[in-house]
Amino acid sequence: PYLIPFLIGLTILEDIGYLPRVAYLMDSFMHRIGLHGTATLPAVLGYGCSVPAVMATRILPSKRDKVIAAIVATLVPCSARSVVIFGLVARYLGAGAALFIYVLNIFVIALTGKVLSMIMPEVSPGMIMEIPRYQLPTLTALFRKVWFRVREFIIIAWPLLILGSIILGMVEFWGWDLILNKIFSPLSWLLGLPAKVGTTLIFGVLRKELSLIMLMQALGTTEVLSVLTPVQVMTFTIFITFYIPCMATIAVLIKELGNRWTVTIIGITLLLATILGLISRLGFGLLL
């Protein structure tokens, strides 16, 4: 329910030829963080999926621009992360709380890009881009592209959801979840989350939406607020939004940027997620 309308909207923007114009409009802003408007395209694509977003960094002229744009793209909440934001925060805490996470994400992306451009200074070249003409998208092409993206969710995510539930059930039956939760207990304690949440973080690296299903599986209920406080729901979601990219994205990062930069990006996202999760715990703890 959350994914399909978003994909339809993104596909319409792609097919009418508006995305290159977004790059032109964002050029001035992107120069403030050391990039140019072309880097907007990977970021926008990131709202659909991080994999094509990272692949889109190929259009950038320098390795430095590709690295910063790739980091920015992995921080953008993809459709899988949006499922967690809408299915957890919007459902239980309201649309305003979900909107806050997206606004926070934009602020963090801008700040991260600015810091990275200061660490890796370089005069970014001017933007040269062909602007396609506006055109009405055909319904056939629209539905095919949406189905192609939804099919990936059905074919890849659903089996993982089912298999993940089975594995987690078996792990709980044999008591292995206690071991895994102890391994992640320092992080869970730091974020103020129950120890049983630790296992869900593993599945989130496979597919981000798995963390939502596995959370309910671990808690033993779909009524999340009966187990977690609103502060814990926000903290968990903010952490999931920013932490380690999924396995498919990691594979593409290795292919595009190499092992060293991939490990660096994993470290940056994990550090950011932990800091923001801790700030969320403390900040919302005072407000709520």
Positions of the chain with pLDDT under 50? none
H or E stretch at 79: helix 79-84
- Which pair of tokens denotes residue 110? 């801008």
Rounded to whole angstroms, the Cα distance separating 155 from 248 reads 14
Judge contact between 224 and 216, C-beta under 8 A.
Answer: yes
Per-residue confidence (pLDDT) for residue 123, from 0 to 100: 64
The amino acid at residue 51 is V
Interval 28-49: pLDDT, tens: 777 777 777 777 878 887 887 8
Give the angle 50-214-168 at the CA atoms, nearest 5°. Answer: 120
**Under 8 Å CB-to-CB from 215, ≥6 apart: which residues?**
88, 197, 200, 224, 236
Distances from the Cα of 101 to the Cα of 76, 239, 240, angstroms: 11, 11, 11
SS3 207: coil
Judge contact between 98 and 85, C-beta under 8 A.
Answer: yes
CB atoms within 10 A of CB 159: 10
Comparing C-alpha atoms, which of 282, 186, 183, 281 is closest to residue 238?
281
H helix intervals, 33-78: 40-46, 50-55, 63-75
Q: How many helices (H) and strands (E) does the chain have?
A: 18, 0
Per-residue confidence (pLDDT) for residue 235, from 0 to 100: 93
The amino acid at residue 185 is S
Q: Tell me which DSSP letter residue 197 carries.
A: G
Handedness of CA 112, 101, 4, 13 (dihedral sign): negative
Q: Tell me which DSSP letter residue 127 carries.
A: P
Per-residue confidence (pLDDT) for residue 2, from 0 to 100: 61
